Amino acid sequence: MNLPKQWRLKGQRYRLEGQRHSDGRVRFPAQPAKLGEASDAWQPYQLASTGELYSWTAQRSNRSEFDHEPIVLVGMIKLADGCMLTAQLTDCEPSELQIGMAMEAVTRSWGKVGDDDLLVYGYKFRPKLVD
């Protein structure tokens, strides 16, 4: 049940750990430098936790892990620091969603993996609670 991989992904899943380039560009997740880039071109950087809803969809046909929920809401959020992120949307109904609305990151359960039900947690976005 790929325990090591789940463990390796903690930083990006729990804390939105990405990278920032010296020219200000922000990217997610953290990855090695591209070919032709200096190895230290990108520095560790924690993404902004708020942003605008860029797009969304309500999936009605999902993988078996999501059997119990009739709809899985997924969106793309343009964060305040310019980084784009794809994430499940939570604490909202499709009817509440409008492109451009303020969203914020929360840490929620992503489900279980393996026969022994290792719990996986990660980022999701919800409509901003307080303005």
Partner 1 sequence: MQQVFIAGTACTAVREHYDRSLLDLALEALHGAVGTLDPNLIQALYVGNALGDTLSEQSQLGAYIAGAAGLNCEAVRVEAAGASGALALRQGYLAIASGQADVVVVLGVEKATDKLDAALQAALALGLDGELERALGLTLTGAWALLMQRYLHEYQLPATAFAPFAVNAHTNGAGNRHALYRFAINAQKWANAGQIAEPLNMLDCSTVADGAAAVVLVSQRYAREVAQPIAIVGSATSSSNVALAQRSDLLWLEAAAASGNNALQQAKLKRDAINIIELSDPHGIAAALSLEALGYAERGQATQLAAEGVIAKDGALPLATAGGYKARGDVGGATGVYQVVELVAQLRGQAGANQIANAKTALAQCLGGVGATAVTHILQVAEV
Partner 2 sequence: MRQPERPVGIVGYGAYVPRYRIAAQEIARVWAAGEGALPITSKSVPGPDEDTITMAIEAGRNALNRAQIDPQQLAAVWVGSESHPYSVKPSGTLVAEALGTSRWISAADWEFACKAGTEALSAGMGLVGSGMADYVLAIGADTAQGRPGDALEYTAAAAAGALIVGPAQQAIATIEATLSYVSDTPDFFRRADRPYPMHGNRFTGEPAYFHHVSTAAKQLLAELGRTAADYQYAVFHQPNVKFPQTVAKQVGFAPEQCQAGLLAGEIGNSYSAASMIGLCAVLDVAQAGDRILLASYGSGAGSDAYSLVVTEALATARHLAPPTSAYLKRRQLIDYATYAKWRGKIVE
Asked if 76 interacts with partner 1 (CB under 8 A), we say: yes
- Rounded CA separation 105/125 (Å): 4
Asked if 59 interacts with partner 2 (CB under 8 A), we say: no
What does 3 interact with, of partner 1, partner 2, none (CB < 5 to 8 A by kind)?
none
- Rounded CA separation 7/93 (Å): 31
- Rounded CA separation 18/15 (Å): 9
Q: Pick the binder of partner 2 from 10, 43, 65, 86 (CB under 8 A).
A: 10
Give phi and psi for 50, each to the nearest 5.
-130, 160
Task: Catalog residues that contact partner 1 under the rule CB under 8 A.
Answer: 9, 12, 27-29, 54-67, 72, 74-76, 84-88, 94, 99, 110, 122, 124
